[in-house]
Amino acid sequence: MIHLYHKGTNENTLLLLHGTGGDENDLREIGRIIDNEANILSVRGSIQEGGMNRFFKRLSPGVFDLEDLEVRTKGLANFINEASQKYGFDRKKVIAIGYSNGANIVASMLFSHKNALSGAILLRPMVPRRDMELVNNDDTRVFIAGGKYDSICPPKEAKELAAYLESKNKEVKLEWINADHRLTYEELLIIKEWYLQRFM
């Protein structure tokens, strides 16, 4: 996978996963806001849709190709394992920050890979799939930021995702943001406070 890695000064690693059309540089500033001392592992989606980078295929807007999603989710989990060996970061201290399409593949990992992440910050996510029993993530804390006026990832999706995850993860916090699909600086400060209380 095309990616960038920056070694930090604490033991946490932020896994950054962009939205549709983004690349490995998109969320770097967000990562610095949340924890400017963490390692940064930022990945570019390897699927192309109309010239835009994505992490998995979809059949139409809002309709995911579940077979491809499963393959890509497994590939991302394997990549994290390989990167931890290559760069020497603690595999048990990886916190993912995903936006839109990036949030959806992180959510897919939470559904299918036990304790793959220490934490997950899902920005404008959708429910990745409704056809499987979720694994238990006894050590994983999840923050979901849903946009009240989001027409791309509707609020009902964030609410349903939180309901799916609540019984299988150590903690799930759903925060409603007074915004549409775009991110706000104010929500990043809320997320930072949540993050510092749990991972520092």
- pLDDT of 113-131, one tens digit each? 999 999 999 999 999 999 8
Question: H helices of 35-180, where?
Answer: 66-87, 101-112, 155-166
Estimate the crossing angle of helix 101-112 against helix 155-166, to 10 degrees: 20
Q: Give dist(CA 111, CA 132) in Å, integer.
A: 8
Residue with tokens 């793959």: 116
Q: What is the mean pLDDT of residues 72-89?
A: 97
- pLDDT of 48-67, one tens digit each? 998 999 999 988 887 899 99
CATH of 3-199, one of 3.30.2010.30, 3.40.50.300, 3.40.50.1820, 3.40.50.880: 3.40.50.1820
- Confidence at residue 58, expressed as pLDDT on a 0 to 100 scale: 87
Could you tell me how many residues make up the chain?
200
- pLDDT of 13-60, one tens digit each? 999 999 999 999 999 999 999 999 999 999 999 999 989 999 999 888
Residue numbers annotated as active site: 100, 150, 181
Q: Give dist(CA 10, CA 200) in Å, integer.
A: 9
Report the share of the chain in percent with pLDDT over 90.
92
DSSP annotation of 136 = P
Domain ranges of the chain: 3-199
